[in-house]
Amino acid sequence: MQIKINGVVSEVQPGMTILEAAREMGIDIPTLCYLEGVHEAGACRVCIVEVKGARTLVPACITEAADGMEIFTHTSRVRRARRTIIELMLSDHPDECLTCGKNNQCELQKLARAMNIQERKYEGEYSSRVIDDGSPAVIRDSGKCILCRRCLSVCSMIQDVNAIAPIGRGFKTVIAPAGKEPINQSPCVQCGQCVNVCPTGAIIEKSDVIRVWEALEDPRKHVVVQVAPAVRVAIGEVFGLEPGTSVTWKMVSALKKLGFDRVFDTNFTADLTIMEEGSELIQRINEGGRLPMITSCSPGWINYMEYFFPQLVEHLSTCKSPQQMFGAVIKTYYADKAGIPAENIFAVSVMPCTAKKYESQRPEMYSSGYRDVDAVLTTRELGAMLKEAGIDLLSCGEETFDQPFGAGSGAGAIFGNTGGVMEAALRTVYEILTGDELDNLNFHQVRGLTGVKETSVKIGGREFSVAVVHGLGNIRKILEDIDKGRSRYHFIEVMCCPGGCIGGGGQPISKDPGIKEKRIAGLYREDEGLPVRKSHENPAVQELYREFLGHPLGHRSHELLHTRYRNRREQEYENHWKTDSLSKA
């Protein structure tokens, strides 16, 4: 099938849209609401093109190319229409670019520039503006929303959460939770996938940058930082490196330059998680505990479970996430060992995640007697701090993480991608149960980007059935099976975000379609390059058990490293019932 775009003839596959065909030919058609595979609605009309013989301009993102079609992407008719569309959007958009969280990363801003718009052509009524900053993870500013509905599509199609919807109609429409209530009172799981797809500054993460600067500048505070595995293969992107480039040791150096007193590796508590979670799994299997057991490292996933399947929370491992385990150990074991009072320690973590901000504020996360993790920065926020401080990551030297938690194993490193927690757990559970050494540490069956991966593993003559899921939209069926007592799995790994933490809501925003594969490859390279690749062989973890914790699932572990869950859904209903019936009485 042949089409002609801007005079160039090309062979295209039947079924392709004009946009896909043009992109394949290297011709750029601007888009705004379009999000490949997720939101293809033709709503914003920015991608309109002229088709010879057609009465009107057609949206390229949803119009199929037909044989013999002759298309023009930048005629004066197209350009004028496109410019008017953007000008009309600007007529209901605040002039706040300089102080906006998305300054220089805003797609509307880029389009205004590309259309050569130099004045505000239309003045008119503004839609009402509500800024919702009640959530610890995300801030929503309806004034900057252009109603493209990308957030909504991600929230429903990818994450199956449906926290937001169009409320009202016509000019009064806003994208908001039910009743335009604060996002905190909605089913929102705080995953931040909406932040990653919002073309403007209408949804951004809630920044902890100022609090961290204040702590760093406070001479009484001993400020420690932990860095999640997925950060090290993404922070380089902020400085122009190819996605997936691992910059672990430069990043440590940069963090020290920022003024952190100690730089620790979350991979260490990832190993600790495997010790606790692996032991918990073995215990549940041997003692007839609740199966399948499901991983609990991903706070967005926990939020999902607590809202949508509260009846199944006993299937969750009681282990805290590596971030929270670290906080609890820093303000107890480390405080003691370093001779620093816990109240003077300010614990920061750098995470690929917005839900981690929420997690750190949960009331269960004060097990050291203080807030275990004081502030959470996303990868993006760390990048912004480094730039503000004039620290060029690429020209930093290489330094190693600080003791006593310096070393993380390769198993800890792959916690940052889908399948990684499962693989780490299998390496350890296998060796503990059999006493034999694994010949091949690589469990390829659980790797890759398939939404649901399942396999069975033979350990000591017993067959274990496991599943790995990423992207919340893939989990519902498995949970429904568990609910009906039909699940055949022993152990399930769930990560909230597509691709796992490397695709988290706090990662640098990228248009690279291969971004997930590249970051994942970076973490497997990290794993293979480390001297220790099994959590239970991490000497620092062994020492922590010897000196402080005793043994996995012991008394101290129980107090510091394990947690409990609640029923968010019933709470919502009861809260509304109470407030509504009270206001009536």
Just list the catalytic residues. Answer: 277, 280, 297, 317, 356, 359, 364, 501
Report whether 226 contacts 265 (CB < 8 A). yes
For residue 308, the minimal CB distance to other proteins (Å) is 10
Buried residues in 422-432 as b, exposed as e (16+ CB within 10 A)? bbbbbbbbbbe
Q: How far apart are CA 150 and CA 148, in angstroms?
A: 6
The conformation of residue 319, written as its DSSP 8-state character, comes to B
Report whether 424 contacts 414 (CB < 8 A). yes
Q: How far apart are CA 120 and CA 45, in angstroms?
A: 20
Q: Pull the structure tokens for residue 14.
A: 């039947």
Residue whose token pair is 């979350």? 266
For residue 359, the minimal CB distance to other proteins (Å) is 23
Which of residues 36 and 580 has its CB atom nearest to other proteins in the complex? 580
Chain centroid to Cα 210, Å, comes to 22
The conformation of residue 394, written as its DSSP 8-state character, comes to G
Q: Pull the structure tokens for residue 61.
A: 């993102």
For residue 158, the minimal CB distance to other proteins (Å) is 14
Which of residues 289 and 473 has its CB atom nearest to other proteins in the complex? 473
Which of residues 220 and 584 has its CB atom nearest to other proteins in the complex? 584
Which of residues 155 and 375 has its CB atom nearest to other proteins in the complex? 155
Q: How far apart are CA 294 and CA 49, in angstroms?
A: 49
Report whether 45 contacts 65 (CB < 8 A). no
The continuous run of DSSP H or E covering 5 comes out as strand 2-5
Q: Which residues contact 365 (CB under 8 A, 6 or more apart)?
A: 320, 324, 327, 359, 371, 372, 373, 563
Q: Are strands 222-227 and 203-205 parallel, antiparallel or unpaired?
A: unpaired
The conformation of residue 342, written as its DSSP 8-state character, comes to G
For residue 307, the minimal CB distance to other proteins (Å) is 10
Query: Which residues of this protein are in contact with other proteins, per CB under 8 A?
Result: 156, 162-169, 177-179, 186-187, 569, 572-573, 576-577, 579-581, 584-585
CA dist list (Å): 537 to 1, 67, 531, 543: 59, 62, 10, 11
Which of residues 164 and 329 has its CB atom nearest to other proteins in the complex? 164
Q: How far apart are CA 39 and CA 170, in angstroms?
A: 20
For residue 161, the minimal CB distance to other proteins (Å) is 8
Nearest to 159 by CA among 539, 497, 556: 497
Which of residues 177 and 504 has its CB atom nearest to other proteins in the complex? 177
Which of residues 180 and 525 has its CB atom nearest to other proteins in the complex? 180
Nearest to 299 by CA among 343, 345, 357, 234: 357
Measured over the CA atoms of residue 55, residue 56, residue 62 and residue 66, the dihedral's sign is positive
Query: Position 248: which residue type?
Result: T
For residue 179, the minimal CB distance to other proteins (Å) is 5
Report whether 333 contacts 360 (CB < 8 A). no
Task: Determine how many CB atoms are found less than 10 A away from the CB of residue 337.
Answer: 12
Length of the chain in terms of residues written: 585
The three-point CA angle 111-380-407 to 5° equals: 155
For residue 167, the minimal CB distance to other proteins (Å) is 5
Query: Position 197: which residue type?
Result: V
For residue 91, the minimal CB distance to other proteins (Å) is 24
For residue 132, the minimal CB distance to other proteins (Å) is 14
Q: Which residues contact 286 (CB under 8 A, 6 or more apart)?
A: none
Which of residues 122 and 573 has its CB atom nearest to other proteins in the complex? 573
Q: How far apart are CA 111 and CA 163, in angstroms?
A: 29
Query: Position 467: which residue type?
Result: A
Task: Annotate 130-146 with DSSP letters as a single string.
Answer: -EE--SSSEEEEGGG--
Which of residues 166 and 529 has its CB atom nearest to other proteins in the complex? 166
For residue 185, the minimal CB distance to other proteins (Å) is 10
Report whether 199 contacts 133 (CB < 8 A). no
Which of residues 170 and 219 has its CB atom nearest to other proteins in the complex? 170
Q: Which residues contact 334 (CB under 8 A, 6 or more apart)?
A: 224, 345, 404, 405
Which of residues 70 and 572 has its CB atom nearest to other proteins in the complex? 572
